[in-house]
Amino acid sequence: QVHLVESGGGLVQAGGSLRLSCAASRSISSINRMGWYRQAPGKQRELVAAITSGSSTDYAGSVKGRFTISRDNAKNTVYLQMNSLKPEDTGVYYCRAIDNGYPYWGQGTQVTVSS
């Protein structure tokens, strides 16, 4: 299994930027897919961005062009750079990894974007 710890959330104004980090407990080079999800109160958790071991990426349409997911295998860390933030980006952001066919989740980090 792999343990994931998110950090970097906070309160920002609309138009601002944040960079989230997801630190894994072991090497991520062999993990095929890692991603960021977010969930607002009363709403479903949704995929924000994902990245494969080959650095192929997927983005939700609502964040495409504003967010960038990346990985640093040497640091066992996945990042989510969020630019041009909007109030609708507010939510708890979770890191997820698929390891040996099973999903693992981090504890989440709060992102709040004020208008």
Residue 99 has pLDDT above 90, yes or no: no
> Residue 7 — very low, low, confident or very high, per pLDDT cuts 50/70/90?
very high
Give the pLDDT confidence of 28-70 residue by residue, as tens digits. 998 989 999 999 989 999 999 999 988 899 999 999 999 999 9
DSSP 29-51: TT-SEEEEEEE-TTS--EEEEEE
Distance CA 74, CA 67 (A): 22
